[in-house]
Amino acid sequence: SRPILDMSYSRHFLDFQGSSIPSSMKKLVVTKLSQNFREAVTLQQDAPVPLPGDGDLLVRNRFVGINASDINYSAGRYDASVKPPFDIGFEGVGDVVALGLSASADYTVGQAVAYVQAGSFAEYVVVPARHAVPLPSVKPEFLTLMVSGATAYISLKELGNLSEGKKVLVTAAAGGTGQFAVQLAKKAKCHVIGTCSSDEKGGFLKSIGCDRTINYKTENIESVLRKDYPEGVDVVYESVGGRMFDLALNSLAIKGHLIVIGFIAGYQNPTGLQPIKAELLPAKLLKKSASVRGFFLNHYLSEYKMALKHLLEMYERGDLVCEVDLGDMSPEGKFTGLESVFRAVDYMYMGKNIGKIVVELPHSVNSKL
């Protein structure tokens, strides 16, 4: 049984610029489980373009987001029962080019939408209308909010217990989520410390309100924290893992909270996690009445719509910087086309990005007009 397509208007069979939807497309597929992204993932040249069902949208991707956890997904760390081949990529922004009959009650062809859904590294993707987020236009900035912005917003709101004057340490602060943790903590009138790996990143962090930047290539984080914050920090937003986790744990103040949103230092290791000195954890937490909490966005989806609405409003008002890194400064230039996802993932793991890494998918339009 074929899915229902809205044929009440022939334009729903065409994209809004008058070009027909092709029957095949490029997409990325995990063909082998490996923490080496290039080994795990294959670019498929002639995948069929999927058809939207009754309540679905067919979205032509214009921008897709790169996440540190793309490597965890391709290594099979999230769901051991899923066997290759399977699609990859978590989020995209694009135009609705076709839709099912029910979906046409709320959406039209040509509308800009964003979504979070596995399988976004493809030229076209079917998105259930109820999961799509309507946007005023197709801009990569909106993509920064879908996973990265929402992660920072919900984790700090639910676990951070932020209030005026608290000291907040953000690790990898100039990255995709770090940029939002810095800004949201500043909006809560906190004193924000951000770690980064270059003076250029430090300059960016200062521009978004970071009170103290620590370039760990030129400064010793431990010494700086001990000297400048002898009482410790109240909240740590931690995404690096390994040695950084130990450092962060040791720098907590009395009743401090350490929020773990990732451990990027361990993602490319064949064994995964880098060891931490966890055997001292109970004693360290007890001594300070401190807490360590993990945060995984999928467990907080009930908060997601509210968070995204608030973030979109802040961005529209000009109250939020959504820094996008399209790879212009990378050795081979801008990340364009699905084939450049591999370069973009490498670039992230080299720690070169400022803001959220985004890949642009240009589309040649065979206009009939």
Per 3-state DSSP, the chain is made up of helix, strand and coil in percentages (nearest 5) of 35, 25, 40
Architecture in CATH of 148-298? 3-Layer(aba) Sandwich (3.40)
The reply to whether domains 24-138+323-360 and 148-298 share a CATH topology is: no
Q: What is the pLDDT of residue 2?
A: 52
pLDDT of residue 18: 45
Give pLDDT, residue 272: 62
Strand partners, 42: 29
Place of tokens 């095949």: 24
C-alpha torsion sign, points 293, 76, 243, 354 = negative
pTM over 0.85: yes
pLDDT of residue 112: 96
Q: Which residues of the chain have pLDDT under 70?
A: 1-19, 271-274, 364-369
Residue 369 pLDDT: 32
* Token digits of residue 63: 């921008």
Architecture of the domain delimited by 24-138+323-360:
Alpha-Beta Complex (3.90)
Buried b (16+ CB within 10 A) or exposed e, 346-359: ebbeebbbbbbbbb
Segments making up each domain of the chain, as ranges: 24-138+323-360, 148-298
